[in-house]
C-alpha cells in the first residue's frame, strides 16, 4: 500500500518472462514534468506524472540531491518509486542520504547483487531496514500510471551480466500524453546500437554517460530524433564532460541542448502540445 491509500499492484507475467507494475493515483496536474536535477557529476532524473506519481531515477553521488529535490518538491518527501540504473556511485549513492529523510514505495534495480563496495552494501541494508522492496527489472518490463507508461528497454539477460557496469544500466522510455523521453543511464555505443533497432523515438533524450565521447552516437540519435537533449554533468569536472565529439553529434539533431553544469536543474513540461523548458540558472 502506497501513501494516501494509493494502490501498488505488481504482476509477474511468467509466460512472457516480464514484469508489469501498475500504479493508481488520485489528484491530477495539468502536465507531466521531467526534471534533470543538478547533483554535480552524476545522474538524477525526477519524473512526475499528471496523476501525481513520482519516480526518481538515480540520485547522484552525494547529499546534493537533497537540496535539488527540496528546490523542486519542497516538503513533499514521498516517492512512489526509486530506480537505480546501475551500481556506480554517481548514480546510486545519493539514495543513502535520501533514506534518512524521504520514503519510497519500492526500489527498482537491474538485479545485480554482486557489487562488493561499502556504499552499495549500505544501500541494500538501509532499504531492508526501511521495508523498501528492491525489485529487479529488465528489458520488456513496464510501469503504468494512468496516462504514463515507462518501458524498460535495457538491460536484457545478456547485457545485465556484463563485466562493464555501464552495460548493465536500466534504459527507460517514458511515454505520456504530454511528451516522451528516453533515459539512457551510462550506456555506450555498443548498447546504443542494440536498442536503436527498437522503436525508441522520443521528444527528450537524457544524454548517455554525461556526454562522454563513447556515447550519443549517430545510430542512436537517428533512432531517437530528439527535440531536446539534457546532459547531467558536474561543473568543471575532471572528465571534461560533455565532450566536443558528443556535443557535435547531438547538435546535428537538435539545437536545444541543456546542461546541469550551466543551467542548474532543468524542468520540462508541455502546454498545448508544445514543450516548455525552465532552467534554474
Pairing of strands 148-154, 171-175: antiparallel
> Three-state DSSP class for 14?
helix
Report which of 155, 124, 120 is spatially closest to residue 137, judged by C-alpha positions: 155
Q: What is the dihedral of CA 92, 281, 206, 94, to 10 degrees?
A: 0
Which of 122, 110, 90 lies closest to 153, judged by CA?
Answer: 110
In tens, the pLDDT along 6-19 reads: 334 333 333 334 55
Q: Between residues 203 and 29, which one has the greater pLDDT? A: 203
What separation in angstroms does the CA of 77 have from each of 45, 74, 80, 100, 206? 16, 8, 10, 11, 24
Range 148-157 average pLDDT: 97
Question: What mean pLDDT is predicted for residues 108-120?
Answer: 97
Tell me: the pLDDT tens digits for 183-205? 999 999 999 999 999 999 999 99
Contact 39, 161 (CB under 8 A): no
User: Does the domain made of 3-279 have the CATH classification 3.40.50.20?
Assistant: no
Amino acid at each position: 500500500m502506497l501513501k494516501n491509500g494509493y494502490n501498488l499492484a505488481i504482476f509477474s507475467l511468467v509466460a512472457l518472462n516480464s514484469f508489469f507494475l501498475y500504479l493508481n493515483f488520485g489528484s491530477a496536474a495539468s502536465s507531466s514534468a521531467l526534471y534533470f536535477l543538478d547533483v554535480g557529476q552524476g545522474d538524477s532524473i525526477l519524473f512526475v506524472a499528471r496523476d501525481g506519481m513520482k519516480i526518481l531515477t538515480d540520485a547522484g553521488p552525494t547529499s546534493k540531491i537533497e537540496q535539488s529535490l527540496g528546490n523542486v518538491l519542497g516538503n513533499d518527501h514521498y516517492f512512489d518509486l526509486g530506480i537505480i540504473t546501475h551500481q556506480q556511485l554517481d548514480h546510486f549513492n545519493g539514495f543513502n542520504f535520501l533514506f534518512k529523510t524521504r520514503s519510497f514505495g519500492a526500489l527498482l534495480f537491474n538485479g545485480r547483487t554482486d557489487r562488493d563496495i561499502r556504499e552499495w552494501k549500505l544501500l541494500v541494508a538501509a532499504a531492508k531496514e526501511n521495508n523498501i522492496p528492491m525489485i529487479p527489472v529488465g528489458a520488456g518490463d513496464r510501469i503504468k500510471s494512468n496516462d504514463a507508461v515507462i518501458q524498460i528497454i535495457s538491460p536484457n539477460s545478456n547485457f545485465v551480466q556484463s563485466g562493464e557496469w555501464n552495460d548493465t544500466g536500466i534504459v527507460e522510455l517514458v511515454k505520456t500524453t504530454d511528451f516522451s523521453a528516453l533515459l539512457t543511464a551510462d550506456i555506450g555505443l555498443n548498447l546504443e546500437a542494440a536498442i536503436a533497432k527498437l522503436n525508441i523515438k522520443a521528444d527528450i533524450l537524457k544524454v548517455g554517460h554525461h556526454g562522454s565521447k563513447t556515447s550519443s552516437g549517430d545510430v542512436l540519435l537517428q533512432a531517437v530524433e530528439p527535440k531536446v537533449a539534457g546532459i547531467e554533468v558536474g561543473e568543471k569536472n575532471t572528465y571534461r564532460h560533455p565532450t566536443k565529439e558528443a556535443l557535435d553529434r547531438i547538435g546535428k539533431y537538435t539545437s536545444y541542448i541543456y546542461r546541469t553544469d550551466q543551467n542548474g536543474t532543468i524542468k520540462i513540461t508541455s502546454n498545448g502540445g508544445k514543450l516548455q523548458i525552465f532552467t534554474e540558472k
